[in-house]
Structure 1
């Protein structure tokens, strides 16, 4: 039976790569995000790809894509739909809950991939530095903590019991800092939430884990914000000498969501080429 997979931040980057993997496996994928256009574009491309090539294990063998609806050549039950919502607001999380409950009745896998760094793209400004600090810290708390917590709590009662899976996307910055303080701190806040939620949901047969990516190329998070010298430094910190790609993280998420991973819970899985250890 196909599973119902809800992915926040599913229109781009890691969220999109994760959606491709689950859709290719024949699951019913619900993409959630603030911007309608990236969600629709991703849904359309994935669906079109599945219709042309069918399901398979390698998302790159048949290209990248998605769409709203079922792909005729996809695995049984494959479907990609979208829900536009601001998950940093309780109203947005409630909206997702209402849609998912009405259309699917349950959630088998929840992937909290939405997030960002409020310091990126912020104008230098001539205002009070203390005001700017408050703006960055509050912005990162809303983008990285509330988006995960509010959606998870809204869908908590819909999680399949047993067998439900919750995966949160943290960051290497939670361990090594981010240069600004607020981004790394907001990601670190997800770790105790992961542990507490795993303890609370464990008796229902639900696992809760997080992944901590490092530098992941080909994502909006780093696009146009990383100087070549900084990129070389980040790659040099890895033990395998390469940047991560969205599929590295997506495949780890899929493994954590697999039935075979039912005894893995309350873990923060490093997906950063060993850079978390420092070099």
Structure 2
């Protein structure tokens, strides 16, 4: 295939795996991220085009969209992460710290996807796909991260009705525990890791390729009538009816 694919947060982890999957299939792939050195290295390894961009900054997102050109077929909003795992030390009163923590996760996970999608929407061609990435944490939403990912899921369902008449699908992938990433930033204990695996039905950790293959399917001809949906990739750790 020869589509133009944009993967935000494509410099590492799941985003890198998603970008590599589309590139192996022959698509032209653009990856974005904040870390210029990592982004450049990944782009060279998988033969993608890098554009340094912080998806929470409107000016940078506008510039990135201008650099894309006029046509786009697939958008994967992968940028995000749990900002509660950032080093502690936010200034202010306890309530001000709570406000800053919640805003940080909303910015990183919800608003980054909203800004990017809005900026490139007119470039998406009929037959295109928007693929957002949520989390199993949205099913519990007791933290700012879970709430932010739940908001992404709700927004994706509504987005589908907006882009559907244009011939564009919009879906959300909701991963469970995915190993071989830096999501937990070294803060995942072996006991917690074992519990996450035990909660699955297939008794294994997820892999970035599990998400990459799902993203590739959602952008395929075989998924043109799938839109407005959340696809759970978690080995049965959370099930739906």
Same fold (TM over 0.5): yes
Work out the CA distance in 2 between the residues paired with 1:139 and 1:223. Answer: 17
Q: Which runs of 5+ in 1 are unaligned?
A: 48-79
On the 8 A contact 1:43/1:81 being kept in 2, the answer is yes
Aligned pairs, how many? Answer: 240
On the 8 A contact 1:176/1:276 being kept in 2, the answer is no
Q: Look up the SS of the partner of 1:270 in the other structure.
A: strand
Once the two structures are superposed, what CA deviation does each residue of 1:96-140 show, in whole Å capped at 9, x if it has no partner?
110002xxx211000000001111032256853222211210100
Match of 2:73 among 108, 122, 125: 108
Q: Compare the two structures and name the one with the higher strand fraction.
A: 2
Q: Could you state the TM-score of these two structures normalised by the residue count of structure 1?
A: 0.83
Q: Look up the SS of the partner of 1:211 in the other structure.
A: strand
On the 8 A contact 1:216/1:245 being kept in 2, the answer is yes
Once the two structures are superposed, what CA deviation does each residue of 1:24-70 show, in whole Å capped at 9, x if it has no partner?
011100001111111111111113xxxxxxxxxxxxxxxxxxxxxxx
Matched, 1:93 2:61: yes
Work out the CA distance in 1 between the residues paired with 2:57 and 2:90. Answer: 26
Q: Cα distance 1:99–1:125, how it changes in 2: closer, same or farther (>3 A)?
A: closer
Q: Could you state the TM-score of these two structures normalised by the residue count of structure 2?
A: 0.96
Deviation at 1:223, TM superposition (A): 3.8
Q: Cα distance 1:188–1:2, how it changes in 2: closer, same or farther (>3 A)?
A: same
Matched with 1:145 is: 110
Across the aligned residues of Structure 1 and Structure 2, the Cα RMSD in angstroms comes to: 1.5
Matched with 1:212 is: 174
Deviation at 1:222, TM superposition (A): 2.2
Q: Cα distance 1:227–1:124, how it changes in 2: closer, same or farther (>3 A)?
A: farther
Matched with 2:18 is: 18
Q: Cα distance 1:229–1:109, how it changes in 2: closer, same or farther (>3 A)?
A: same
Matched, 1:81 2:49: yes
Work out the CA distance in 1 between the residues paired with 2:24 and 2:52. Answer: 22
On the 8 A contact 1:211/1:271 being kept in 2, the answer is yes
Matched, 1:270 2:226: no
Show structure 1 runs of 4+ deviating over 2 A: 124-129
